Amino acid sequence: MKSRKLLMIPGPIEFEPDVLQAMAVPTTSHVAPNFIDVFGNALDMMKEVWKSTSGQPFIVAGSGTLAMDMAASNLIEKGDSALVISTGYFGARFKDILETYGAETTVLSAPIGEVVPLDIIEETLKEGSYKLLTFTHVDTSTGVMVAPEAICKLAQKYGVLTILDGVCSVAGEEILQEKWGVDVVLTGSQKAIGVPPGLALLVASQKALEVWKNRKTPVGNYYASWNNWLPIMIAYQEERPSYFGTPPVNLILALEKSLGIICDEGIGGRVQRHKRLARAFRAAITSLNLSILPTEDVIAAHTLTAVYYPENIDGALLRAHMVADDVIVAGGLLSEIKTTYFRVGHMGSVSSNDLLAVLGALERALQSQNYPFEMGVSLRTFQDSLI
C-alpha cells in the first residue's frame, strides 16, 4: 500500500520518478563539467519546448512570480505605460508587479469565467501609447484560457511588447513563441514543466533584449536583472563555467530530465494528450450536473478545471472527504467566489487513471452529502469520451 495521497491541485503536481531521482543524487559543483553540460542542455531544450529558436532562455532559482518580476523589472522604466489583460487573480498580481517598477497601468478585467473581447483590447491599444502588454494564458484561479496568437498580433500592430504569463500553460497548452511573436514567455517549474518548486523559467525574444539593452535607467532589481543573469546563461550555453548566484544544482538536474521527457513525448503530442484528458474530464463533470467557471468550452483550460460546488454542498467538507479518500484537490483562489468552487489540476505526467481516481473520490464525497446523481456516471462518461 502506498503511504501518500494523489496530489491533483494546479501545482505542485505529481512528478515523474526519474525527475525525483535526479533530485536525490549527490550534489555536484555548479561549475563541474558535467553540470555545465546539463545546464546548457536544459537551456537548449527550453527553446524547443517554447518553440523559440532565436529566443534567450533563463533558468533562475525562484518561483513563477520571480519570472513575472524579471520580465517586468527588465522591460519597464518609471513612467512607461503597460496594459494588463486580466482573467483572474494573476492578472491583478502582474499589475502590482508592474507598478512596483513605476509603470502606469491600465487593466482590462474580464467578468468571472470570461475573456476580454479582442475589439476591446484593440480599442484600448489604439487610444493609448503602451510599451508592453501582459496577459495570463491560463489563469490558475479560474481555469480560463485566452487565445495568445490573436492578442500578440494586435500588440504587434500597435508596436507593443508582449509578456505571456504561462505559469499554468507552458508544456501543457500550445505555445509557439517565435511564430506568434511573443516577446517573453514565462513559467515556474512546478506546473506542466514537471519539476518540484524552485525554478523561475522564461524565454525572451531578441526584440525584448534590445529594449532592455536600450534602457535609459538602471534595472530596479538586483537579483532579477538580466545584467547579472544573461552572461551566466550565455556561459552555460557555451559550456563555460560562470558565477553570479549559486544555481539550485539538483533542481536543474531534475529540469533537464523532465525537459528530456517532454521532448521525447514531443510537445505537439503532449499538448494533444492534455486536450484529450481535459475534454473527457469536463464531460465527466458535466454528467454530474456540475458547472465549470469558464462560460464557454472554447476558453476552458486543458491544464486544470475549476468546478462550482452544487448548492447545499459544504465545499470544505467535500474536499476533506476526498483527502480522506487519498485524493487532494484545491479550493477556490479568486477572493470574490473563493468558497463556491474547487480546482483540479491535470497537467504534466497526468494519466487517465489519475483522473478516474479523482472522479471516483468526487462521487463518493458527493454521495456522502446526499447529492442526487447516478453513481458511476462520471466514470463511464470519462471512459466513453476517451474512446
Taking only the tens place, the pLDDT of each residue in 163-221 is 999 999 999 999 999 999 999 999 999 999 999 999 999 999 999 999 999 999 999 99
Q: How confident is the model at residue 2 (pLDDT cuts 50, 70, 90)?
A: low
C-alpha cell at 301: 483550460
Q: Using alpha carbons only, what angle is made at residue 105 by residues 102 and 106, rounded to the nearest 5 degrees? A: 175
C-alpha dihedral sign at 291, 294, 297, 302:
negative
C-alpha cell at 63: 518561483
pLDDT of residue 291: 98
pLDDT of residue 387: 85
Distance CA 135, CA 229 (A): 24
pLDDT of residue 123: 98
Percent of the chain residues topping a pLDDT of 90: 98
Percent of the chain residues topping a pLDDT of 70: 99
Would you say residue 53 has pLDDT above 80?
yes
The neighbouring-strand residues paired with 7 are 328
Closest CA to 364 of 331, 323, 335: 323
Is the whole model's pTM more than 0.85, yes or no?
Answer: yes
Would you say residue 15 has pLDDT above 90?
yes
Closest CA to 360 of 312, 322, 318: 322
Give SS3 for 2.
coil
Would you say residue 30 has pLDDT above 60?
yes
Would you say residue 1 has pLDDT above 60?
no
Please list the alpha-helical segments (H only) found in the chain.
17-24, 33-50, 64-75, 89-100, 118-127, 148-157, 177-180, 206-213, 226-237, 249-265, 267-287, 315-324, 352-368, 377-386
pLDDT of residue 3: 77
Q: How confident is the model at residue 4 (pLDDT cuts 50, 70, 90)?
A: confident
Q: Using alpha carbons only, what angle is made at residue 64 by residues 247 and 184, rounded to the nearest 5 degrees? A: 95
Give SS3 for 304.
strand
Per-residue pLDDT tens over the stretch 134-161: 999 999 999 999 999 999 999 999 999 9
Task: Summarize the confidence of residues 342-362 as an average pLDDT.
Answer: 98
